């Protein structure tokens, strides 16, 4: 259907296309990872995504669960120790995004075991978190 056909069908106003929040989180995370790999090439293989979300068919979901995929695990892990932390887990969220109970439970578990966990809602926040962490100034971040 062409654009002008859409306009005539919906009365001069094109329908509003809704962007799914996961798409926005994906775009944010992809931009942050791209920036990290450009800015810190020495650590590029030590920041990685943990693919817990997304749509999957029942068989794939069952296979991944058997392999150890768990609800609530953070989106990214930086496997670099700094200060008193073994590593950094980052949960990416949009401004409107909220942590699930499983995500809060995961955060509490890794904090208890000596990792840093943070939620980043923008690329600027991600950059600040990474820079502070890698400069051993992460003590105030949570």
pLDDT of 102 above 90? yes
pLDDT of 12 above 90? no
State residue 1's pLDDT score.
54
State residue 73's pLDDT score.
96
- Measured CA to CA, the distance from residue 72 to residue 50 in angstroms comes to 11
State residue 117's pLDDT score.
98
Q: H-type helices in the chain, by residue range?
A: 3-9, 21-39, 58-67, 101-112, 123-134
pLDDT of 8 above 70? no
pLDDT of 26 above 70? yes
State residue 69's pLDDT score.
87
* DSSP states of 127-139: HHHHHHHHTT-GG
pLDDT of 2 above 90? no
Give the neighbor-by-neighbor strand order of the sheet with 76-78: 47-49, 76-78, 88-92, 116-120
Would you kindly state where each structural domain of the chain is located, as residue ranges? 25-140
State residue 5's pLDDT score.
64
Tell which phi-psi region holds residue 135, choosing left (phi > 0), alpha (psi between -120 and 50) or beta: alpha
State residue 142's pLDDT score.
43
State residue 61's pLDDT score.
83
- Strand duo 47-49 + 116-120: pairing: unpaired
Residue count of the chain:
142
Mean pLDDT over each residue of the chain, to the nearest integer: 86
Q: Tens of pLDDT along 27-39? A: 999 999 999 999 9
pLDDT of 107 above 50? yes
At 64, the pLDDT band (50, 70, 90 cuts) reads confident
CATH node for 25-140: 3.40.1350.10
């Amino acid at each position: 259907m062409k654009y002008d056909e859409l306009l005539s069908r919906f009365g001069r106003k094109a329908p509003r296309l809704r962007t799914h929040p996961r798409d926005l989180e994906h775009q944010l995370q992809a931009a942050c990872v791209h920036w990290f790999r450009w800015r810190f090439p020495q650590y590029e293989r030590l920041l990685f995504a943990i693919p817990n979300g997304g749509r999957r068919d029942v068989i794939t979901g069952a296979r991944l669960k058997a392999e150890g995929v768990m609800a609530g695990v953070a989106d990214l892990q930086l496997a670099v120790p700094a200060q008193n932390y073994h590593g950094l887990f980052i949960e990416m969220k949009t401004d409107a995004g909220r942590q699930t109970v499983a995500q809060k439970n995961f955060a509490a578990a890794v904090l208890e075991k000596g990792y840093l966990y943070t939620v980043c809602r923008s690329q600027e926040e991600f950059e600040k978190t990474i820079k502070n962490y890698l400069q051993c100034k992460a003590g105030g971040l949570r």
